A and B are shown apart, each in its own frame.
Chain A
Amino acid sequence: MAQPILSLRSINKSFGPVHVLRDVHLDVYPGEVTALVGDNGAGKSTLIKCIAGIYTPDSGEYIFDGNQVTVHGPRDATALGIEVVYQDLALCDNLDIVHNMFLGREQKKGAVLDESAMEVMARKTLDGLSVRTVKSIRQTVASLSGGQRQTVAIARAVLWNNKVVILDEPTAALGVSQTEQVLHLVRRLADSGIGVILISHNLNDVFEVADNIAALYLGQLAAQVRKADVTSSQVIELITTGKSAGISPVGANQ
């Protein structure tokens, strides 16, 4: 097994008296989809925010590409090559696809925006992901369907040669066929060598695309297992009770 691109060791995080994350471990491998599952309040969001630099863990090791690093803010995480695609905050409706993909990182020619260069790069990225559903990359995001919006949000994350892409419930608001589309895209993302973290409540999705499943239970890692080694009902057990017969509590992966 290759070396993990991102590895968290014994991460703890409290908000006042509430101990949200307890000694959480997580390994994310390049070229794989690591699904992060858990019930509401299990600590998924907090863990993601620790990775993205929005929260700083109270203790624990953050190992990126074999080196221990400290991440003090979203900019640090972005600099490492970690990108988060937030569930509903990913895009500005009034801007077109190109503008959205480059928001915050616009290409300039002198003092002005280099529209043509951005358009070429956006087109190339969408083609690279085999996205053929959008009519024009100059249409506003408001005119896109849910699946297309999610596609643009993911393409935005790919544009910058990121090493880790975190997807926060990318299929939550989508219909059946659009979900399928987005899951294909998630797979292609991983196949291109990116380490993908997929947060999802939907075990069907998880079993369809994930290589690796990490289940959180009340702020602790119940287990991180290979998909091939578990069944859906075992994962449900992990989510609801924190343990399952035949799965050793933590580090089943090692």
Chain B
Amino acid sequence: MLSIVFRKLRSWGRVMRGNQLMASLFILFVLMLFFTMTSSRFLTWDNMQNVTRSTSSVVIVGSAVTLVMIARGLDLSVGSLLAASGVLAASIASHGTNLWLSYLAAIALGALFGALNGTLVVGFKVTPIIATLGTLNIARGMAYLVTPSAILVGLPSNWSDLGTGSFFQIPYPVIIAVVIALFFGWLLGRTVFGRHVYAIGGNEETARLSGVNIRKVIFLLYLMSGLATGIAAVVLTSRLGSGDPNIGVGFEFQVIVAVILGGTSLAGGEGRIAGTIVGALIVGFLGNGLNLIGVEPFWQYVAQGVALIAAVILDRFTRRERSEASVRREVNSKDNFDKTEDPKSIGNSASHQGEIS
């Protein structure tokens, strides 16, 4: 029985291999189809606005974390940092300071924590999981030190404009998320920096020997992750209308699920921003849909956990397929090498590769 499931999984993996994005889109489509059929309130303009608005912070942070994870890093501190930056902004604004100045303070705190993560990983060679687990606790502690309970009073009247307003029916948070995702997509796909991120994820030592300044690149990745979290904190606290030190619990988990569901390899070296956006939407619609059909919120944690593990297992299966394929290819090309000067054999090996990839 189990072996049949495995075989099914692997053949599915073979279909989806090479196009992780299509696989993620397929999952999203099935999910939306399911909730459309089970809840009449799911596929409405209001609900779409609502979900995309609340997914925007996962997209903003996930875009940056995608780069971190492609370079074989990890940032667990984003959830707590979201809270720390959020309450800092709210606390400053509630004392009558200019709204934008308080936003800027939140982003600056994000950058500061990003720089701290980068310094720990690059300078002190602490493994990313431990370094950011440490800063996760530090940031959460700082959030409670700023305020032990949510700041509601004294916030300026325009506090929630950014988080709840829209431009031609498109919520501001969505616009911000799209702009940031486009930026990271451009950075990853079109620039030398992005190329170096992939190279570090592929083989750090090779990248170093090729003259890539890996310390600088990795530091900047964590810095950008912190910056993006600062921006997400502003968007989120503005939307919620309060500075709450309890927000963002499990947020890092949502981000990582989104990134992995989006096809970023756990082993590094592979991944795309478009995938992360789809991954974030899967996470968002899953939670929303379960709410609408009346599933208890606690089950959402279960669903997310299952989604993460399923994504990782699928990643493992497609990866195994790939490495088997490369072994087969090696054998093929060895056979072909004797006649390599013959153009026919090149076509031959090409057809082998076509068949496998």
Q: How far is the CB of B109 from chain A (nearest CB, A)?
A: 28
On chain A, the residues within 8 Å of B203 by CB distance are 89, 91-93
Which residues A114-148 have CB closer than 8 A to chain B?
A: 132-133, 135, 139, 142-148
Are B357's CB and A92's CB within 8 A? no
Are A143's CB and B353's CB within 8 A? yes
A25 to B206, CA, bound (A): 29
The answer to whether A9 has its CB under 8 Å from any CB of chain B is: no
A142 to B337, CA, bound (A): 17
On chain A, the residues within 8 Å of B338 by CB distance are 177
A89-126 vs B, Cβ < 8 Å mask (1 yes, 0 no) = 11111110001000111101001110000000000000
Are A133's CB and B340's CB within 8 A? yes
A92 to B206, CA, bound (A): 7
A181 to B338, CA, bound (A): 9
Q: How far is the CB of B204 from chain A (nearest CB, A)?
A: 9
Chain A, Cβ-Cβ closest to B194: A113
Are A89's CB and B206's CB within 8 A? yes
A108 to B338, CA, bound (A): 39
The answer to whether A72 has its CB under 8 Å from any CB of chain B is: no
On chain A, the residues within 8 Å of B190 by CB distance are 112-113
Q: A94-B201, A135-B349 are in contact. Are A177 and B210 (CB under 8 A)?
A: no
The answer to whether B286 has its CB under 8 Å from any CB of chain A is: no
A106 to B197, CA, bound (A): 13
A143 to B192, CA, bound (A): 23
Are A145's CB and B195's CB within 8 A? no
B25-58 vs A, Cβ < 8 Å mask (1 yes, 0 no) = 0000000000000000000000000000000000
Q: How far is the CB of A11 from chain B (nearest CB, A)?
A: 22
Identify A91's interface contact among B186, B206, B353, CB under 8 A: B206
Are A95's CB and B329's CB within 8 A? no
Are A112's CB and B191's CB within 8 A? yes
Chain B, Cβ-Cβ closest to A78: B211
How many residues belonging to A are interface residues under a CB distance threshold of 8 Å?
Answer: 36
On chain A, the residues within 8 Å of B210 by CB distance are 103-105
Identify A95's interface contact among B198, B343, B357, CB under 8 A: B198
A74 to B350, CA, bound (A): 38
On chain B, the residues within 8 Å of A181 by CB distance are 337, 340
Which residues B341-357 have CB closer than 8 A to chain A?
A: 341, 343, 346, 349-350, 353, 357
Are B199's CB and A89's CB within 8 A? no
Are B207's CB and A103's CB within 8 A? yes
A229 to B204, CA, bound (A): 44
The answer to whether A86 has its CB under 8 Å from any CB of chain B is: yes
The answer to whether B269 has its CB under 8 Å from any CB of chain A is: yes
The answer to whether B244 has its CB under 8 Å from any CB of chain A is: no
Of B198, B207, B333, most buried by chain A (CB within 10 Å of CB) is: B333
A86 to B202, CA, bound (A): 16
Are B195's CB and A178's CB within 8 A? no
The answer to whether A75 has its CB under 8 Å from any CB of chain B is: yes
The answer to whether A17 has its CB under 8 Å from any CB of chain B is: no
The answer to whether A16 has its CB under 8 Å from any CB of chain B is: no
A23-37 vs B, Cβ < 8 Å mask (1 yes, 0 no) = 000000000000000
Are A104's CB and B212's CB within 8 A? yes
Q: A92-B202, A94-B198 are in contact. Are A145 and B346 (CB under 8 A)?
A: no
The answer to whether B127 has its CB under 8 Å from any CB of chain A is: no
Q: How far is the CB of B163 from chain A (nearest CB, A)?
A: 32
Are A132's CB and B357's CB within 8 A? no
On chain B, the residues within 8 Å of A90 by CB distance are 206
Q: A89-B206, A92-B269 are in contact. Are A145 and B337 (CB under 8 A)?
A: yes
Are B270's CB and A94's CB within 8 A? yes
A1 to B206, CA, bound (A): 37
Identify B346's interface contact among A99, A106, A132, A177, CB under 8 A: A132
Chain B, Cβ-Cβ closest to A75: B211
The answer to whether B326 has its CB under 8 Å from any CB of chain A is: yes
The answer to whether A246 has its CB under 8 Å from any CB of chain B is: no
Identify B334's interface contact among A92, A104, A177, CB under 8 A: A177
Q: How far is the CB of A136 from chain B (nearest CB, A)?
A: 8
Of B207, B210, B326, B338, most buried by chain A (CB within 10 Å of CB) is: B210
Chain A, Cβ-Cβ closest to B357: A143
Of A84, A94, A106, A175, most buried by chain B (CB within 10 Å of CB) is: A94
- Between A and B, 15 residue pairs with Cβ closer than 8 Å are A78-B211, A89-B206, A91-B206, A92-B198, A94-B269, A95-B195, A105-B210, A106-B192, A112-B190, A132-B341, A133-B346, A135-B353, A139-B353, A144-B333, A147-B337
Interface residues of A (CB under 8 A from B): 74-75, 78, 84, 86, 89-95, 99, 103-106, 108, 111-113, 132-133, 135, 139, 142-148, 175, 177-178, 181
- Further 5 A-B residue pairs, CB within 8 A, beyond A93-B202, A103-B207, A106-B192: A99-B198, A112-B191, A135-B346, A143-B353, A147-B337
